[in-house]
Chain A
Amino acid sequence: MDQLAFGLTYSIAGGLAAVGVGLVGAAAVAAVGRNPDAIGTIRTMMILAMSFVDALAIIGLVVALIIKFLH
Chain B
Amino acid sequence: MSVMAEHVFDIGPIHVSNSMVLGAIGWTVTFWLLIRTARRIGARRYDRLSLAVLWAYEYLFNTAEEVLGSRELALKITPIAITMFFFILVNNWLEILPLLGTVTWHNTPLFRGLAADLNFTFALAVVTFATAHIWAIRKLGFFGNLKRYFRNPFKDVLGAFEGFLELIAEFSRFIALSMRLFGNIFGGEVLIAVMAFITSYFSVIALPPFMLFELFIGLIQAYIFFMLTVVFVSLGIAHNEAHATPGVEEEAAQQAGSLAAGEAT
Chain A positions near chain B (C-beta within 8 angstroms): 47-49, 51-52, 54-56, 58-59, 61-62, 65-66, 69-70
Contacts and interface: CB of A to CB of B under 8 A. Distances in A.
Contact of A58 (B2, B184, B224, B265): B184
Nearest to B220: A51
A69 B184 contact: no
Contact of B187 (A48, A52, A62, A69): A62
Contacts of A56: 265
A69 B194 CA distance: 14
Given A54-B184, A61-B187, A62-B187, 17 more contacts: A47-B220, A48-B224, A48-B227, A49-B262, A51-B221, A52-B224, A52-B262, A55-B179, A56-B265, A58-B180, A58-B184, A61-B183, A62-B179, A62-B186, A65-B190, A66-B3, A69-B1
A66 B184 CA distance: 14
Contacts of A59: 179-180, 183
User: Which size bracket describes the interface of B in this complex?
Assistant: 20 to 34
A63 to B, nearest CB: 9
Contacts of A54: 184
Contacts of B183: 55, 58-59, 61-62
Interface string B240-265: 00000000000000000001001101
B220 A69 contact: no
A51 B187 contact: no
